[in-house]
């Protein structure tokens, strides 16, 4: 075979195989960055959920006082677990139809997705310890700890 005789081609194939192996073990793919990403379109939500083995989506409305209290804690958690899980937020006032699609009855609601499927949700205001326990459990289930 040609690739057995060509050292340069063999090295290219080795690098590509290494890249594929690394990509498959990463818990979050794509360019979502650190911290919390704001989702503006349904396609963004779909892409975000599909690109992270563990994805947290914070559904909020700008006028919700509990959302305003929970957001800084959620952002801090996102920074701490950066690279292990994806964290996003979505303003339901901009996309109210999402509430129906995900059966969201009130805000704040955080939905946890593991491998693209809903694995749980947090409704209402929670403390940092509970949020951390939920994140750790989701990471453990997905093998991302």
Domain boundaries, the chain: 30-142
Is residue 67 flagged as an active site residue? Answer: yes
Of the candidates 27, 52, 67, 144, the residue annotated as catalytic is: 67
> What pLDDT band is residue 9 in, cutting at 50, 70 and 90?
confident
* Mean of the per-residue pLDDT values of the chain: 87
Average pLDDT in the 95-106 region? 95
Strands (E) in the chain, as ranges, are 36-39, 54-60, 86-91, 109-114, 117-123
pLDDT value for 2: 54
Is residue 64 flagged as an active site residue? Answer: yes
Q: What would the pLDDT profile of 29-51 be if each residue is shown by its tens digit?
A: 656 667 899 999 999 999 999 98
pLDDT value for 95: 94
Q: What would the pLDDT profile of 70-91 be if each residue is shown by its tens digit?
A: 999 999 999 999 888 999 999 9
pLDDT value for 6: 72
Pick the CATH number of 30-142 from 3.40.50.300, 3.40.30.10, 3.40.47.10, 3.30.70.2860: 3.40.30.10
Of the candidates 27, 52, 64, 144, the residue annotated as catalytic is: 64
What CA–CA distance (Å, rounded) separates 23 from 51? Answer: 11
């Amino acid at each position: 075979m040609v690739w057995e005789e060509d050292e340069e081609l063999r090295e290219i194939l080795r690098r590509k195989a290494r890249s594929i192996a690394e990509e498959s073990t990463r818990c979050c793919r794509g360019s979502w960055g650190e911290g919390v990403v704001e989702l503006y379109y349904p396609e963004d939500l779909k892409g975000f959920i599909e690109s992270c083995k563990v994805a947290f989506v914070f559904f909020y409305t700008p006028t919700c006082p509990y959302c305003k209290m929970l957001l800084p804690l959620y952002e801090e958690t996102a920074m701490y677990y950066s690279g292990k899980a994806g964290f996003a937020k979505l303003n339901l006032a901009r996309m109210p139809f999402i509430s129906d699609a995900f059966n969201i009855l009130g805000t704040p609601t955080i939905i946890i997705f593991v491998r693209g499927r809903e694995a749980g949700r947090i409704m209402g205001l929670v403390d940092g310890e509970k949020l951390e326990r939920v994140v750790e459990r989701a990471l453990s289930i997905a093998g991302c700890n």
